[in-house]
Amino acid sequence: MSELSEEIRQMQEAARTFADKEVEPVAQALHLAEAEIPDDLLQKLCDLGIFGLTAPEEVGGLDMGNLAAAVVTEELSRAWFSVGALPARNWALIEILLRNGTAEQKQRFLPDLISGRKQAAHSGTEPEAGSDAANIKTTAVKDADHYILNGTKLWCTHARRAEVISCFVRTSKDHKHAGISLLLIEKPRGEFPGPEFTAQKLNTVGYHGMHSYQLFFDNLKVPVANLVGGVEGLAFRQLMATYEFARMQFAFRCIGLAQAAFDKARDYAATRVQFGKTINSFQAVRFKLADMSTGIEAARQLGYMVARKLDRGERADLEAGQLKLFAAEMAQKVCQEAVQIHGGMGFAVETAVNRYWRDSGLLTIGEGTSEIQREVIARRLVEERG
């Protein structure tokens, strides 16, 4: 079934209205300026309750589940891919703390993460640890009531704005997966409190608004109380439990981006005149639009299925991997076709379809490359299901 409940439809409509009125009118200018998502826009998302969308009511959330997160993500991403990514880090850390946090950690961090008063970021990737997530080198050595961090991280998105960064660290050299722990690094919003903690912005062709950073730790002290769960060596398992949701949410960012590209291409094809008629009269363009629309709807329906499985508490790692793989490659193709339909104007940076095209470069890399998704899918199909 693809029908949405009345409650979720209302949230979808609220997100769509917000995206159309508040996000879309400023997205292109902010993208071209390579500016961060403005604080006032972030605050309006907080006011809508978006950051607490998936959290249970007993901890101050809206308790609307994964399907609600999916449709809200699509609407926000349709206006600007970067804004669709904004709630994801809070949602993920909230889930990690609900599943694994100590009572003190839940009390200390959850209220501000759920309200959005504090922003989260995640730091896992390193120069030699991308798809091989267990190959991290950043160390955390216990010293009385603190851990001492040393190492370098890559691609920590939203790091400057975040007040809480969940960080993959190695607490034991004797074990690969079981030697990894998750620490919560607290920092002021908008600052890197060097010299123990410094950062360098990574320049990208797209995905502006959610800037990514390389982080440098030089004897940074982090309280032992910030070890998620209070036990070392559990981070790999703690994070793996969130991968299904993360891939589902990323897929709906892809779907929202693809929908935006399709809408712009369809509208342009209806007004662009060549050889005395609009280009949507030509079969070559009509067939592109047909294929684009079909791919988007197929990804959306697969995504609804995955979200519903997660809401029922069912395992969906295979389906989430399939969804992320299909949605990412579909959206990348749709954005390319939107540029093609626009012709030369699609190559102009001032056009929205050029922004979609630039943002789409991330899709088959972020949240697990297409190659890794295929490996995970094949492993489940061949090795586990025999």
3-state SS, 64-84, equals CHHHHHHHHHHHHHHHCHHHH
Domain 120-234 in CATH 2.40.110.10? The answer is yes
Mean pLDDT value across the chain: 95
Sign, CA torsion 218/219/225/230:
positive
Residue 64 and residue 55: Cα distance in Å, rounded? 8
* DSSP string covering 281-313: GSHHHHHHHHHHHHHHHHHHHHHHHHHHHHHTT
143 three-class SS = strand
Please give the angle made by the CA atoms of 262, 267 and 271, to the nearest 5 degrees: 145
Q: Given the DSSP bridges, would you call strands 180-186 and 197-202 parallel, antiparallel or unpaired?
A: unpaired
List C-alpha distances in Å: 44 to 39, 51, 381. Answer: 9, 11, 43
Give me 222's structure tokens. 């982090």
Taking residues 109-118, what's their average pLDDT?
A: 98
**139: pLDDT strictly greater than 80:** yes
Q: How confident is the model at residue 131 (pLDDT cuts 50, 70, 90)?
A: confident
**156: pLDDT strictly greater than 70:** yes
pLDDT in tens, 47-67: 999 999 999 999 999 999 999
CATH superfamily of this structure's domain 239-384:
Butyryl-CoA Dehydrogenase, subunit A, domain 3 (1.20.140.10)
The conformation of residue 129, written as its DSSP 8-state character, comes to B
Q: Given the DSSP bridges, would you call strands 277-278 and 273-274 parallel, antiparallel or unpaired?
A: antiparallel
Please give the angle made by the CA atoms of 328, 115 and 64, to the nearest 5 degrees: 60
Beta carbons of 167 and 138 less than 8 angstroms apart = yes
Taking residues 276-297, what's their average pLDDT?
A: 98
Q: What is the pLDDT of residue 4?
A: 92
Q: How confident is the model at residue 292 (pLDDT cuts 50, 70, 90)?
A: very high
| CATH class of the domain defined by 6-115 | mainly alpha
Percentage with pLDDT > 70 across the chain = 99
Between 75-89, 116-130, 218-232, the lowest mean confidence (pLDDT) is in 116-130
**1: pLDDT strictly greater than 50:** no
pLDDT in tens, 180-198: 999 999 999 999 998 999 9
Active site residues: 367
Q: What is the pLDDT of residue 386?
A: 52
Q: What is the pLDDT of residue 240?
A: 78
Between 24-38, 279-293, 372-386, the lowest mean confidence (pLDDT) is in 372-386
List C-alpha distances in Å: 76 to 67, 79, 82. Answer: 14, 5, 8
Nearest CA-CA partner of 193 in 151, 167, 163, 150: 163
Q: How confident is the model at residue 72 (pLDDT cuts 50, 70, 90)?
A: very high
Domain boundaries, the chain: 6-115, 120-234, 239-384
